[in-house]
Structure 1
Amino acid sequence: MGQLREAARFGAWTVSGVVGLAVLCVIGVFAFGGAGWITAPFRGEADKRENTVASGEFRQTTYETFFDLCAAVQNAEGTIQALQEERKTASQARATQIDQSVTALKATRIESVNDYNAKAAQEHRAPFRDQDLPYRLDVGAERTTCAH
């Protein structure tokens, strides 16, 4: 019976030692950077947000990007209209060139409209779009208005 009691006491000390060592390891991890490792995803998101969205440079660049994209759409529309006017009196060879140019400009316009709409839909950029700019541009519209 004495050996059994001695073995139980030895087992209890062993379990206590393992638990104590585990507790010390956990404390050590938190004391020497483990807490930083565990909270890194949260802090990383906050740092990323602070470095981009809260940055004045990001806000200014985003604000200007919307105007630039809208202006690109308007420029393509203006050039298309000028080429279509020229086509009315153009020779056959020039009319073919104009048709090709108009096709390319329409594709460029669609890309600019899609780029504008994609950026306007991004949650972190939307607040920096000027209130006079449309929320979305219409691919099918003949004329785009960039300010009211």
Structure 2
Amino acid sequence: MGDLREGARVGVWAVGGVVGLAVVYLVGVFAFGGAGWITAPFRGEVEERERTVASGAFRLTAYEEFFDLCASVQNAEGTILALQQEREAATATRRSQIDQSITALRASRIESVNDYNAKAAQEHRAPFLDSGLPYRLDSAAEKTSCAA
């Protein structure tokens, strides 16, 4: 009878030890998983910043992108001016074609201005806007000034 009690006691301790290890494991999983869940936004922000703002390639691309967008606005303006000058001496058929081209160029220019302004307003891109470039472009202006 004593051996039976001793065996039961050992069995209870063994089962208790396994249950205790399972509880410690679950507490560890929830504790570290919970910490990971709580710090996820911060870790995500740091990873995003490292991938974009701290990246030399991103910085160079963002810097050049503002110049490219501003240049596309100026190119559209120059082409519109050239077409308006040509329109004065053009035939009626050619004037109709020129008017359609000017309308398309104005729409393209407005799209480039809006793209430039949207990117200039983005917090992670704004620091790479050259000091010689305007912070915002005016879609109603007839002439845009960009640094060269």
Q: Distance in 2 between matches of 1:139 and 1:63?
A: 21
Q: Which amino acid aligns with 1:57?
A: A
Q: CA RMSD in A?
A: 2.1
Q: Distance in 2 between matches of 1:91 and 1:30?
A: 80
Matched, 1:118 2:85: no
**Alignment correspondent of 1:50:** 50
**Alignment correspondent of 2:31:** 30
**Alignment correspondent of 1:10:** none
Q: How many residues align?
A: 128
Q: Which amino acid aligns with 2:135?
A: Y
Q: Distance in 1 between matches of 2:145 and 2:120?
A: 15
**Alignment correspondent of 1:3:** none
**Alignment correspondent of 1:103:** 103
Residue 28 of structure 1, CA deviation = 3.9
CA deviation profile, 1:66-97 (whole Å, cap 9, x unmatched) = 00000000000000000000000000100000
Structure 1: any 5+ residue segments left out of the alignment? 1-19
Alignment TM-score, normalising by the size of structure 1: 0.79
CA deviation profile, 1:21-60 (whole Å, cap 9, x unmatched) = 9x733334335x5533432222111101111111111111
Q: Which amino acid aligns with 2:124?
A: H
**Alignment correspondent of 1:74:** 74
* C-alpha spacing 1:28/1:105, structure 2 compared with 1 (3 Å): closer
Q: Distance in 2 between matches of 1:87 and 1:54?
A: 50
Task: Return structure 1 stretches of 4+ with deviation > 2 angstroms.
Answer: 23-31, 33-38
Q: Which amino acid aligns with 2:90?
A: A
**Alignment correspondent of 2:11:** none
Q: Distance in 1 between matches of 2:31 and 2:41?
A: 16
Q: Distance in 2 between matches of 1:129 and 1:137?
A: 12
CA deviation profile, 1:84-122 (whole Å, cap 9, x unmatched) = 000000001000000000000000000000110111111
Structure 2: any 5+ residue segments left out of the alignment? 1-19
Matched, 1:136 2:131: no
Q: Distance in 2 between matches of 1:73 and 1:67?
A: 10
Q: Distance in 1 between matches of 2:27 and 2:82?
A: 73
Identity %: 72
Q: Which amino acid aligns with 1:101?
A: S
Residue 124 of structure 1, CA deviation = 0.8
- The correspondence of residues 85-100 of structure 1 with structure 2, limited to 5 A, is 85-100=85-100
Q: Secondary structure at the match of 1:44?
A: helix
